[in-house]
Amino acid sequence: MTRGRRARAAGDRRLETLTRELLTIVGEDPAREGLRRTPGRVARAWRELTAGYGTDLKRLVNGAVFSAPDSEMVVVSDIQFYSLCEHHLLPFFGKVHVAYIPDGRIIGLSKIPRLVEAYARRLQVQEHLTSQLAAALEEAIAPQGVGVIVEARHLCMEMRGARSIESPTKTSAMRGIFRSDARTRKEFLDLLQHQSR
């Protein structure tokens, strides 16, 4: 077994122990039939839900950046994502819309949802997720501009606290020409509006 696999197995055992402790603290019996396998399930779920920490972002993009003379807007919209709020460890989920205007280089379209997944599979706040995606695209292809809009529902707001049901939060990051040129920004927003009709 490699050192990385040993460390992962030790981490999973620790997560299982912590889950048993948590079940006991909230008044449950971790030995009862329905909960016996829960610690192992939770450890595997957390490994999956936080897989973004193990993603090498340069490697994810590597080989999928191409020279292109085009300078027309590229939009990938309605990218579904699920993440965990770093404040309450409860899910938030929704859609990401990404646009960029190339400046001599384009990125393989499938890499954009993969970037979303890599950043979403970490403990997050929506504001950071939005700006991280914009920065990742800027770094990967140095476009004329990038626009990212994230709309999400937060179970930390719906299940507890404010109990504000179905109140989506929208965040945006506009960089380069998307920030400096109102017409470019409007074109992106209009494309998203037209799509939602």
Q: Which pLDDT score, from 0 to 100, does residue 145 have? A: 98
Using pLDDT thresholds of 50, 70 and 90, give the confidence band for residue 147.
Answer: very high
- Say if residues 145 and 179 touch (Cβ distance below 8 Å): yes
Q: Which pLDDT score, from 0 to 100, does residue 167 have? A: 87
Q: By C-alpha distance, which of 108, 105, 135 is closest to 119? A: 135
Give me the CATH code for the 58-196 domain, please: 3.30.1130.10
Catalytic residue among 21, 80, 86, 139: 86
Give me the CATH code for the 3-49 domain, please: 1.10.286.10
pLDDT, tens digit, 9 for 90 and up, residues 35-60: 999 999 999 999 999 999 999 998 99
Residue 78 pLDDT greater than 80, yes or no? yes
Q: By C-alpha distance, which of 114, 189, 122, 181 is closest to 151? A: 189
Instruction: Decide if 127 is catalytic.
Output: no
Catalytic residue among 88, 151, 158, 187: 88
Catalytic residue among 151, 156, 158, 187: 156
Give domain limits for the chain. 3-49, 58-196
